[in-house]
A = this chain, B = another copy of it.
């Protein structure tokens, strides 16, 4: 009995597919430092957890399809603090950023339509594109120049009559790159000239270093009809398990259509929305300490990497990922080897091979993504194992 083409074609998660190797290593008694996934170790704010503890309704009921009104009202305030002026009707709360992305793709594209996206990109864009029947057209960026946005002509080259949108992730997962206002401005100019939507994944908004500031697609002129922001609280409040995100646009027709998609699935989780709502006012004090912590980790990982002979990487300016190009041929083989055949005092490290983040065949084969989501002590140990492992791997192979 045949499955659908999309069921056959959809990419298996390149981040999760090596988990059996990690499980084997653990079964042998090894400790594995996970630098392969974006699950932060930062504590979820007490204010959020208290909501679960204090929930008093006797019936755990449906909420509105567009999300709880109190939460949407407070989101307006949150975004205003980030210089993003929207009103409550521009927001639909979604089941995490994932649902926001699939809604954005489905509402803008017919099957067969194309979305241009700088690569390497968040691998799950592939899954959503397959579900929506959308073709992602990669726009290659390079480790050597910090994954900077390519020149206009490189972008223009990708546009044809099937192109419906340009999708960016800013700050970038997996690159850690931050597109500045002048970059976003180039994207929006091209989008306006060619009547393309810009879908902007801004879930790492708060994770920006070196005093840089974040530029939202919704803070750009002329983007009322074309700008679509997708967002999530997963990383912002270290609340990945709450599954709360949103899609935001000032395009009323687009939001009315998106609401119909949202109505089909009834509503996002109710108590989790209330928890997200409780986080709205805690931002200031919470983020400074977190950013300081991540900045230390970033420096630690970057310094460790540039001290390894043959490793190429630029210091990331945002998010909590770094891509490193290694002096080897096959990063996936290296990652498996680290788990199967290597340890330092019964400890090893797991990384994400970067090839899965590229859509262009053959790219990223010698690159890995590291998520610096462990505390400094663990991170030091992990980077030491990585360095020793790489040396040994090169000697052995």
Contact = CB atoms under 8 A, between A and B. Distances in A.
Contacts of A269: 95, 241-243, 269, 272
B3 A107 contact: yes
Given A261-B131, A264-B127, A269-B242, A195 B4 contact: no
A148 interface: no
Interface in A246-267: 251, 253-254, 257-258, 260-261, 263-267
Contact of A60 (B49, B127, B258): B49
Nearest to A233: B60
A113 interface: yes
Interface string A175-195: 000000000000000000001
Contact residues on A (Cβ < 8 Å of other chain), bracket: 35 or more
A44 interface: yes
Interface stretch (A5-13, A318-326, A339-347, A364-372): A5-13
A263 B16 contact: yes
Query: How many monomers of this protein are in the complex?
Result: 2
Interface stretch (A51-59, A82-90, A136-144, A151-159): A51-59
A16 B65 contact: yes
A121 interface: no
A131 B131 CA distance: 9
Nearest to A113: B4
B11 A260 contact: yes
Contact of A59 (B7, B108, B109, B238): B238
Interface of A: 1, 3-8, 10-13, 16, 37, 39-44, 48-49, 52-55, 58-63, 65, 95-96, 98-99, 102, 106-111, 113, 124, 126-128, 131, 133, 164, 195, 197, 225-226, 238-243, 251, 253-254, 257-258, 260-261, 263-272, 275
30 contacts: A1-B195, A1-B225, A3-B254, A4-B108, A5-B110, A6-B106, A7-B106, A7-B108, A10-B260, A37-B62, A43-B58, A52-B52, A52-B271, A53-B53, A53-B54, A53-B55, A60-B238, A60-B240, A60-B242, A63-B241, A96-B265, A98-B265, A102-B265, A124-B264, A127-B260, A128-B264, A241-B271, A242-B270, A243-B268, A269-B272
